Amino acid sequence: MMRRIRTRLLLAVCLVAGALSPRSSARAEVSQVWVEKASEGFVSLAYGPLDPAKVPLLLLSCFDAMGIAVLDLHTAIDGVKPGEALTIALAAGEAKAQVEGEAAFDDASSMIFAEASDIAVKPVLEVLRQPGPLAVTVGQTNATLSDQGRADAVAKFSQDCRID
Decide if 82 is inside a domain.
yes
Name the residue range of residue 67's domain: 2-87+102-120+150-160
Decide if 26 is inside a domain.
yes
Q: Give 128-153 as a DSSP string.
A: HTSSSPEEEEETTEEEEE--TTHHHH
Decide if 95 is inside a domain.
no
What pTM value is reported for the model? 0.81
CB of 94 closer than 8 Å to CB of 62: no
Tens of pLDDT along the chain (164 residues)?
Answer: 444 344 343 334 333 333 333 333 333 345 899 999 999 889 999 999 988 678 999 999 999 989 999 999 999 998 899 999 999 999 999 999 999 999 999 998 899 999 999 999 999 999 999 999 999 999 999 999 999 999 999 999 999 998 87
Decide if 79 is inside a domain.
yes
Decide if 142 is inside a domain.
no
Decide if 126 is inside a domain.
no
**Three-state SS for 8?**
helix
What domain count does the chain have? 1
